A and B are shown apart, each in its own frame.
Chain A
Amino acid sequence: NAGVTQTPKFQVLKTGQSMTLQCAQDMNHEYMSWYRQDPGMGLRLIHYSVGAGITDQGEVPNGYNVSRSTTEDFPLRLLSAAPSQTSVYFCASSYSRDSNQPQHFGDGTRLSIL
């Protein structure tokens, strides 16, 4: 079972560059989300989606865009990378928008902005 697949695993960018972090799940999950993990701060929600065509902002959305054109894919775009966006990014999915379902996480993308 592939589960949640994130690419790339590592990336180094220069300030001002843009890039897209890819996330795909093969479990037909309705709910998908993006988090960033920083030391001492746990996981912070960037954006989330409850289905194709529906996205919403989390607690730290600035500098990031998302779209959900299919159930399987939920890419995260950095519009103009800044050093403050150096972090580990995790994509997660769950079966439905019901809050009693656990989330399934990808293995993360480690992003460094120089």
Chain B
Amino acid sequence: KAGVTQTPRYLIKTRGQQVTLSCSPISGHRSVSWYQQTPGQGLQFLFEYFSETQRNKGNFPGRFSGRQFSNSRSEMNVSTLELGDSALYLCASSLGTGQVNEQFFGPGTRLTVL
């Protein structure tokens, strides 16, 4: 089975711009979660989508949003970028049904905000 894929792998943006990151989960997985990883704050949960609905949300401002499509692919969007948004954004997929399943992570998108 193919693993979780994320595109693009690297992005450079300037403050005030917006960005969209994409994630394709493992085939058959219906849950997609997003995490932000920074040296200062570590790994932090952004949100989780299951069957096109946001099921859980972390403590991030409204500039961070996401969506999931009927094929389980997910996108996250960050508007009005700030320098502090520079991070590795990781997407994880899991079956999403029943008990808490293991999450499998993609390679991440490294976002640099100048």
A and B together in one complex: no
Which chain B residues have a beta carbon within 8 Å of chain A's beta carbons? Answer: none
